Chain A
Amino acid sequence: MLDRSKTRPLRLIVNNQPHAVTADPFTPLSEVLRDHLGLTGTKIGCEAGDCGACTVLVDGVQACSCLIPVAQAEDVPVLTIEGEDGDGLIRRLKEAFLAHGAAQCGICTPGMIMAAADCLMKDPQAGRAAIEDALGGVLCRCTGYVKIVEAILDVARGGGLPVQDPEGAFGARIARVDGRPKVEGIDLFGADSAPGDALYLRILRSPHASARFTLGDCRPVLDRVPGLVAILTAKDVPGENSFGIFPTIKDQPVLADGFVRFRGEAVLALAGTREAVEAVRDADLPIEWHPEEAVIGVGMGLAPGAPVLHAKVPDNVLTRGYLECGDVEAGHAAAAVTAEGAFETAFVEHAYIEPEAGFAVRLGDRIEISACTQAPVMDQEEVARVLGIPKAAVRIRPTACGGGFGGKLDVSVQPLLAVAAWQLGRPVRIIYTRPESMASTTKRHPASIRARASADAEGHLLAYEMTGDFNTGAYASWGPTVANRVPIHATGPYKVPHVRNRTRAVYTNETPAGAFRGFGVPQAAIANETLLDDLALQLGLSRWAIRRRNALGHGDRTPSGQVLHASAGLPECLDAVEDAFRTFEAEAEAFNAGATRFRRGAGVACMWYGCGNTSMSNPSTMRIALLPDGRLVFFNGAVDIGQGSTTVLLQIAAEALGLPPAAFESVIGDTDLTEDAGKTSASRQTFVSGNAARLAGLDLRRAILALGNAGPEARLALEGATLLIRDGEASRRVDLAALPRDDEGFVLVGRGTYDPPTTGLDARGQGVPYATYGFAAQVAEVEVDMLLGTVKVRRIVAAHDVGRAVNPTLTEGQIHGGIAQGLGLALMEEFIPGRTENLHDYLIPTVGDMPEITIHLIEDPEPEGPFGAKGVGEPALVATAPAILSAIRHATGARICRVPVLPHRLFEALQAKGARS
Chain B
Amino acid sequence: MRYDRPTDLAEALAIRAERRVILMAGGTDIYPAFAQRKAWGDASRADILDLSALPGLDAITEDEAGWRIGSMVTWAALADAPLPLLFDGLKEASRHVGGQQVQNRGTLAGNLCTASPAGDGIPNLMALDAGVELSSQAGRRLLPVADFLTGYRQIALRPDEIVTALVVPKGPPARAAFVKLGARHSLVISIAMVAAIVELDAQDRIAAARIAIGACSPVALRLPGLEAALAGERLATAPRRVEAAHLAHLVPISDVRASAEYRREVALHLVRDALARIHQETARRAA
Contacts and interface: CB of A to CB of B under 8 A. Distances in A.
B35 A46 contact: yes
A68 B104 CA distance: 11
B102 A435 contact: no
Interface in A235-286: 278-283
A134 B186 CA distance: 10
A433 B187 contact: no
A902 B99 contact: no
A111 to B, nearest CB: 9
Interface in A369-424: none
A832 interface: yes
B24 A52 contact: no
Given A48-B36, A903-B181, A62 B104 contact: yes
B20 interface: no
Interface string A612-644: 000000000000000000000000000000000
Interface string B249-267: 0000000111101110110
A136 B3 CA distance: 32
A6 B3 contact: yes
Contacts of A281: 41-44
A83 interface: no
A468 to B, nearest CB: 25
Given A25-B5, A63-B104, A69-B48, A846 B256 contact: no
B250 to A, nearest CB: 15
B183 A72 contact: no
Interface in B99-115: 99-102, 104-105
Interface in B14-29: 24, 26-28
B28 A67 contact: yes
Interface in B193-246: none
Contacts of A841: 189, 256-257
B152 interface: no
Contacts of B186: 133, 136-137, 846-848
B15 to A, nearest CB: 14
A435 B185 contact: no
A676 to B, nearest CB: 35
A279 B269 contact: no
A192 interface: no
Contact of B183 (A25, A63, A279, A828): A828
A115 interface: yes
Nearest to B259: A904
B39 interface: yes
Given A49-B98, A55-B101, A907 B32 contact: no
A278 B266 contact: no
A848 B185 contact: yes
A435 B42 CA distance: 13
A137 B26 contact: no
A841 B32 CA distance: 12
Given A64-B102, A67-B105, A136-B185, A788 B41 contact: no
Given A49-B32, A846-B187, A63 B105 contact: yes
Interface size class of B (residues with CB under 8 A): 35 or more
A414 to B, nearest CB: 20
B101 A789 contact: no
B27 A904 contact: no
B3 A838 contact: no
B158 interface: no
Contacts of A5: 1
A290 interface: no
Nearest to B26: A67
A136 B35 contact: no
Contact of B105 (A68, A845, A904): A68
Contacts of A67: 26-28, 31-32, 101-102, 105
B136 interface: no
A76 to B, nearest CB: 10
A204 interface: yes
B76 interface: yes
Nearest to B27: A67
B160 to A, nearest CB: 22
Given A49-B28, A281-B41, A433-B39, A138 B99 contact: yes
Contacts of A902: 183, 257-258
A66 B100 contact: no
Contact of A843 (B39, B42, B45, B183): B183
Contacts of A860: none
Contacts of A280: 41
A71 interface: yes
Contact of B101 (A46, A64, A845, A848): A64
B94 interface: no
B2 interface: yes
A666 interface: no
B253 to A, nearest CB: 12
B71 interface: no
A24 interface: yes
A835 interface: yes
A787 interface: yes
Contacts of B52: 72
Most chain B CB within 10 A, of A26, A835, A849, A902, is at: A26
Contact of A62 (B2, B50, B100, B187): B100
A789 B262 contact: yes
A593 B28 CA distance: 46
A436 B52 CA distance: 32
B216 to A, nearest CB: 13
A69 B52 CA distance: 10
A810 B257 CA distance: 35
B156 interface: no
Contact of A840 (B27, B189, B258): B189
A136 B31 contact: no
B43 A279 contact: yes
A820 B257 CA distance: 20
B106 to A, nearest CB: 8
B3 A71 contact: yes
Contacts of A115: 100-101
A42 to B, nearest CB: 13
A585 interface: no
A836 interface: yes
A64 B104 CA distance: 9
B69 to A, nearest CB: 20
Contacts of B105: 58, 63-64, 67-68
Contact of B266 (A26, A118, A136, A787): A787
A61 B74 CA distance: 13
Contacts of A25: 3, 5, 48, 50
A47 B35 contact: yes
Interface of A: 3, 5-6, 8, 24-26, 28, 46-50, 52, 55, 58, 61-64, 66-69, 71-72, 115, 118, 133-134, 136-139, 204-205, 207, 278-283, 433-436, 787-790, 827-828, 830, 832, 835-836, 838, 840-841, 843, 845-849, 902-904, 907-908
Interface of B: 1-3, 5, 24, 26-28, 31-32, 35-36, 38-45, 48, 50, 52, 76, 98-102, 104-105, 181, 183-189, 191, 256-259, 261-263, 265-266, 269-270
Pairs of residues from A and B, 5 with the lowest C-beta to C-beta distance, nearest first: A137-B99, A282-B41, A848-B185, A136-B186, A904-B262
Given A67-B32, A137-B186, 6 more contacts: A55-B101, A58-B104, A64-B102, A139-B187, A789-B262, A789-B266
6 contacts: A25-B3, A67-B102, A134-B100, A281-B43, A283-B41, A845-B184
